[in-house]
Homo-oligomer: A and B are copies of this chain.
Amino acid sequence: MCRWIAYAGPEIYLEDLLFHQEYSIVRQSLNARESVFTTNGDGFGVAWYSKRTAPGLFKDILPAWNDTNLRSLAAQIQTRMFFAHVRASTGTAVTRTNCHPFTWKNWAFMHNGKIGDWHLCRKDMEALISPEFYPMRQGTTDSEALFLVALSLGLAQDPKKAIQDTLRHALRLMDRHKAREPLRVSLAVTNGAEIWAFRYSSDQQSPSLYAGAPTTRALEQGDHHIHTIASEPTDTDPSRWFKVAEATGLHWTPSALQDFAIAL
Protein backbone atom coordinates (compact mmCIF):
# COMPACT_ATOMS: atom_id res chain seq x y z
CA MET A 1 0.00 0.00 0.00
CA CYS A 2 1.12 3.52 -0.72
CA ARG A 3 0.06 7.16 -0.49
CA TRP A 4 -0.35 9.62 -3.32
CA ILE A 5 -1.43 13.16 -4.15
CA ALA A 6 -2.48 14.80 -7.40
CA TYR A 7 -2.62 18.56 -7.92
CA ALA A 8 -3.98 20.67 -10.74
CA GLY A 9 -4.53 24.42 -10.58
CA PRO A 10 -2.67 27.70 -10.47
CA GLU A 11 1.10 27.38 -10.62
CA ILE A 12 2.61 26.55 -7.24
CA TYR A 13 5.93 25.27 -6.00
CA LEU A 14 6.05 21.51 -5.49
CA GLU A 15 7.07 22.13 -1.89
CA ASP A 16 3.74 23.85 -1.16
CA LEU A 17 2.08 20.48 -1.09
CA LEU A 18 4.97 18.02 -0.76
CA PHE A 19 6.41 19.64 2.35
CA HIS A 20 4.47 22.66 3.64
CA GLN A 21 1.44 20.80 4.95
CA GLU A 22 0.82 19.47 8.41
CA TYR A 23 0.32 15.99 6.96
CA SER A 24 2.14 16.33 3.68
CA ILE A 25 2.82 13.31 1.50
CA VAL A 26 6.44 13.39 2.70
CA ARG A 27 5.24 13.29 6.28
CA GLN A 28 2.90 10.46 5.27
CA SER A 29 5.93 8.55 4.02
CA LEU A 30 7.05 8.31 7.64
CA ASN A 31 3.68 8.28 9.32
CA ALA A 32 0.51 7.77 7.30
CA ARG A 33 -2.76 7.97 9.19
CA GLU A 34 -5.28 6.20 6.97
CA SER A 35 -3.16 3.44 5.47
CA VAL A 36 -2.65 -0.21 6.29
CA PHE A 37 1.06 0.64 6.25
CA THR A 38 2.03 3.62 8.39
CA THR A 39 5.52 3.68 6.87
CA ASN A 40 5.81 4.27 3.13
CA GLY A 41 9.57 4.22 2.83
CA ASP A 42 10.21 2.01 -0.20
CA GLY A 43 10.84 4.82 -2.64
CA PHE A 44 8.92 7.76 -4.05
CA GLY A 45 8.28 9.61 -7.28
CA VAL A 46 7.00 12.88 -8.70
CA ALA A 47 5.77 13.65 -12.21
CA TRP A 48 5.17 17.32 -12.93
CA TYR A 49 4.04 19.34 -15.91
CA SER A 50 5.95 22.39 -16.99
CA LYS A 51 6.36 23.90 -20.48
CA ARG A 52 6.92 20.62 -22.26
CA THR A 53 4.29 18.14 -23.30
CA ALA A 54 5.85 15.26 -21.41
CA PRO A 55 6.05 15.56 -17.65
CA GLY A 56 9.30 15.65 -15.73
CA LEU A 57 9.90 12.51 -13.71
CA PHE A 58 11.95 12.14 -10.55
CA LYS A 59 12.03 8.85 -8.66
CA ASP A 60 14.27 7.30 -6.08
CA ILE A 61 14.39 4.24 -3.88
CA LEU A 62 15.31 6.08 -0.68
CA PRO A 63 12.61 7.14 1.77
CA ALA A 64 11.16 10.53 0.82
CA TRP A 65 11.49 11.95 4.33
CA ASN A 66 15.24 12.52 4.26
CA ASP A 67 15.92 12.87 0.54
CA THR A 68 17.93 16.04 -0.03
CA ASN A 69 17.29 16.03 -3.78
CA LEU A 70 13.52 15.93 -3.35
CA ARG A 71 13.65 18.81 -0.90
CA SER A 72 15.76 20.98 -3.19
CA LEU A 73 13.79 20.18 -6.34
CA ALA A 74 10.50 20.84 -4.58
CA ALA A 75 11.74 24.31 -3.65
CA GLN A 76 12.66 25.14 -7.25
CA ILE A 77 10.08 23.51 -9.47
CA GLN A 78 6.91 25.41 -10.25
CA THR A 79 4.05 23.55 -11.81
CA ARG A 80 0.34 23.71 -12.63
CA MET A 81 -0.09 19.96 -12.31
CA PHE A 82 1.77 17.16 -10.59
CA PHE A 83 1.42 13.61 -9.30
CA ALA A 84 3.46 12.50 -6.25
CA HIS A 85 3.65 9.05 -4.67
CA VAL A 86 5.35 7.36 -1.71
CA ARG A 87 5.62 3.61 -1.79
CA ALA A 88 5.22 0.72 0.61
CA SER A 89 6.13 -2.39 -1.32
CA THR A 90 3.76 -5.33 -1.02
CA GLY A 91 6.33 -7.77 -2.32
CA THR A 92 7.82 -6.46 -5.54
CA ALA A 93 11.38 -5.19 -5.52
CA VAL A 94 12.50 -1.76 -4.32
CA THR A 95 13.76 -0.31 -7.60
CA ARG A 96 13.23 3.00 -9.34
CA THR A 97 11.39 1.13 -12.08
CA ASN A 98 8.81 -0.02 -9.55
CA CYS A 99 8.25 3.50 -8.19
CA HIS A 100 5.26 5.52 -9.33
CA PRO A 101 4.23 7.59 -11.24
CA PHE A 102 4.58 5.80 -14.56
CA THR A 103 4.56 7.96 -17.67
CA TRP A 104 4.04 7.70 -21.43
CA LYS A 105 4.25 10.76 -23.64
CA ASN A 106 1.99 13.34 -21.96
CA TRP A 107 0.37 10.76 -19.68
CA ALA A 108 1.09 9.93 -16.04
CA PHE A 109 -0.37 7.25 -13.78
CA MET A 110 -0.09 6.29 -10.12
CA HIS A 111 -1.76 3.78 -7.88
CA ASN A 112 -2.31 2.62 -4.33
CA GLY A 113 -3.69 -0.87 -3.91
CA LYS A 114 -3.22 -4.24 -5.49
CA ILE A 115 -4.49 -6.89 -7.81
CA GLY A 116 -5.32 -9.87 -5.58
CA ASP A 117 -2.75 -12.69 -5.74
CA TRP A 118 -0.67 -10.81 -8.27
CA HIS A 119 1.88 -13.62 -8.53
CA LEU A 120 -0.85 -15.87 -9.95
CA CYS A 121 -2.40 -13.32 -12.32
CA ARG A 122 0.75 -11.61 -13.50
CA LYS A 123 1.56 -13.65 -16.59
CA ASP A 124 -1.96 -13.38 -18.02
CA MET A 125 -2.18 -9.69 -17.14
CA GLU A 126 1.12 -8.87 -18.83
CA ALA A 127 0.02 -10.83 -21.88
CA LEU A 128 -2.78 -8.24 -22.27
CA ILE A 129 -0.20 -5.51 -22.88
CA SER A 130 -0.07 -4.87 -26.61
CA PRO A 131 3.20 -5.27 -28.54
CA GLU A 132 3.27 -1.47 -28.90
CA PHE A 133 3.41 -0.91 -25.15
CA TYR A 134 5.15 -4.11 -24.04
CA PRO A 135 8.70 -2.73 -24.47
CA MET A 136 7.79 0.08 -22.03
CA ARG A 137 7.40 -2.43 -19.20
CA GLN A 138 10.26 -1.40 -16.89
CA GLY A 139 9.35 -3.06 -13.62
CA THR A 140 7.24 -5.84 -12.19
CA THR A 141 4.43 -4.14 -10.27
CA ASP A 142 0.75 -4.76 -10.80
CA SER A 143 0.42 -0.96 -10.91
CA GLU A 144 2.59 -0.45 -13.96
CA ALA A 145 0.83 -3.40 -15.60
CA LEU A 146 -2.55 -1.72 -15.00
CA PHE A 147 -1.24 1.40 -16.75
CA LEU A 148 0.17 -0.50 -19.74
CA VAL A 149 -2.95 -2.63 -20.15
CA ALA A 150 -5.06 0.52 -19.97
CA LEU A 151 -2.87 2.15 -22.63
CA SER A 152 -3.28 -0.99 -24.75
CA LEU A 153 -7.05 -0.72 -24.31
CA GLY A 154 -7.25 2.88 -25.47
CA LEU A 155 -6.47 4.98 -22.41
CA ALA A 156 -5.40 7.86 -24.60
CA GLN A 157 -8.77 7.87 -26.36
CA ASP A 158 -11.17 7.20 -23.48
CA PRO A 159 -9.56 7.03 -20.04
CA LYS A 160 -12.75 6.34 -18.14
CA LYS A 161 -13.59 3.34 -20.31
CA ALA A 162 -10.04 2.03 -20.59
CA ILE A 163 -9.44 1.99 -16.84
CA GLN A 164 -12.74 0.28 -16.17
CA ASP A 165 -12.05 -2.27 -18.91
CA THR A 166 -8.66 -2.89 -17.36
CA LEU A 167 -10.13 -3.45 -13.90
CA ARG A 168 -12.69 -5.80 -15.44
CA HIS A 169 -9.83 -7.81 -16.97
CA ALA A 170 -8.06 -7.89 -13.61
CA LEU A 171 -11.18 -9.21 -11.87
CA ARG A 172 -11.65 -11.85 -14.57
CA LEU A 173 -8.04 -13.03 -14.22
CA MET A 174 -8.30 -13.08 -10.43
CA ASP A 175 -11.39 -15.22 -10.86
CA ARG A 176 -9.69 -17.52 -13.37
CA HIS A 177 -6.77 -18.04 -10.97
CA LYS A 178 -9.03 -18.38 -7.93
CA ALA A 179 -7.39 -15.43 -6.18
CA ARG A 180 -8.30 -15.20 -2.50
CA GLU A 181 -7.11 -11.64 -2.06
CA PRO A 182 -9.43 -8.81 -3.15
CA LEU A 183 -8.84 -6.21 -5.84
CA ARG A 184 -8.28 -2.84 -4.18
CA VAL A 185 -7.60 0.22 -6.24
CA SER A 186 -7.12 3.91 -5.70
CA LEU A 187 -5.54 5.32 -8.82
CA ALA A 188 -5.12 8.52 -10.79
CA VAL A 189 -4.28 9.16 -14.41
CA THR A 190 -3.75 12.38 -16.34
CA ASN A 191 -3.03 13.56 -19.84
CA GLY A 192 -1.52 16.77 -18.52
CA ALA A 193 -4.79 18.68 -18.82
CA GLU A 194 -7.44 16.63 -17.02
CA ILE A 195 -7.31 14.08 -14.20
CA TRP A 196 -9.32 10.92 -13.73
CA ALA A 197 -9.24 9.24 -10.30
CA PHE A 198 -10.78 5.89 -9.39
CA ARG A 199 -11.62 4.36 -6.02
CA TYR A 200 -12.77 0.77 -6.27
CA SER A 201 -12.44 -2.64 -4.62
CA SER A 202 -13.97 -6.08 -4.93
CA ASP A 203 -14.65 -6.22 -1.19
CA GLN A 204 -15.92 -2.70 -0.48
CA GLN A 205 -12.72 -1.86 1.34
CA SER A 206 -11.09 0.47 -1.10
CA PRO A 207 -8.02 2.44 -0.06
CA SER A 208 -8.90 5.89 1.27
CA LEU A 209 -9.36 8.75 -1.21
CA TYR A 210 -10.13 12.40 -0.71
CA ALA A 211 -10.49 15.62 -2.67
CA GLY A 212 -9.88 18.99 -1.12
CA ALA A 213 -8.50 22.48 -1.06
CA PRO A 214 -5.44 22.64 1.18
CA THR A 215 -3.61 25.92 1.69
CA THR A 216 -1.03 26.71 -0.98
CA ARG A 217 0.50 29.92 -2.31
CA ALA A 218 -2.07 29.86 -5.11
CA LEU A 219 -5.01 29.28 -2.86
CA GLU A 220 -3.89 32.03 -0.57
CA GLN A 221 -4.57 34.34 -3.49
CA GLY A 222 -8.26 33.66 -3.40
CA ASP A 223 -8.78 30.52 -5.45
CA HIS A 224 -10.81 28.09 -3.33
CA HIS A 225 -11.58 25.48 -5.94
CA ILE A 226 -10.73 21.88 -5.30
CA HIS A 227 -7.30 21.33 -6.83
CA THR A 228 -6.13 18.30 -4.91
CA ILE A 229 -7.01 14.61 -4.92
CA ALA A 230 -5.11 12.55 -2.37
CA SER A 231 -5.00 9.34 -0.36
CA GLU A 232 -5.57 11.34 2.77
CA PRO A 233 -6.03 15.01 3.74
CA THR A 234 -2.82 16.97 4.02
CA ASP A 235 -4.13 19.10 6.88
CA THR A 236 -6.54 18.77 9.78
CA ASP A 237 -9.36 20.96 8.57
CA PRO A 238 -12.27 18.57 7.74
CA SER A 239 -14.26 21.37 6.16
CA ARG A 240 -11.84 21.51 3.27
CA TRP A 241 -11.88 17.87 2.24
CA PHE A 242 -14.50 15.37 1.21
CA LYS A 243 -14.12 11.62 1.13
CA VAL A 244 -14.62 9.91 -2.21
CA ALA A 245 -17.17 7.10 -1.90
CA GLU A 246 -16.59 3.44 -2.73
CA ALA A 247 -16.83 2.56 -6.41
CA THR A 248 -16.62 6.19 -7.39
CA GLY A 249 -14.46 8.10 -9.81
CA LEU A 250 -13.57 11.77 -10.12
CA HIS A 251 -13.00 13.72 -13.29
CA TRP A 252 -11.12 16.97 -12.80
CA THR A 253 -11.04 19.57 -15.56
CA PRO A 254 -10.01 23.20 -15.30
CA SER A 255 -13.70 24.12 -15.13
CA ALA A 256 -15.25 21.40 -13.00
CA LEU A 257 -14.82 18.40 -10.72
CA GLN A 258 -17.36 15.69 -11.45
CA ASP A 259 -17.84 12.32 -9.84
CA PHE A 260 -19.06 9.22 -11.59
CA ALA A 261 -20.03 5.68 -10.61
CA ILE A 262 -17.62 2.89 -11.43
CA ALA A 263 -19.56 -0.02 -12.88
CA LEU A 264 -17.57 -3.16 -13.64
Contacts and interface: CB of A to CB of B under 8 A. Distances in A.
Interface of A: 30-31, 39, 41-42, 48, 50-52, 54, 56-63, 65-66, 68-69, 72-73, 75-78, 89, 93-97, 119-120, 122-123, 126-127, 129, 131, 134-135, 137-140
Contacts of A57: 68-69, 72
B58 A138 contact: no
B63 A59 contact: no
Given A30-B39, A135-B119, A140-B138, A73 B95 contact: no
A69 B65 CA distance: 18
Nearest to A66: B94
Contact of A58 (B73, B93, B137): B73
Contacts of A65: 41
Contact of A93 (B56, B78, B127, B138): B138
Contacts of A123: 129, 131, 134
A47 to B, nearest CB: 9
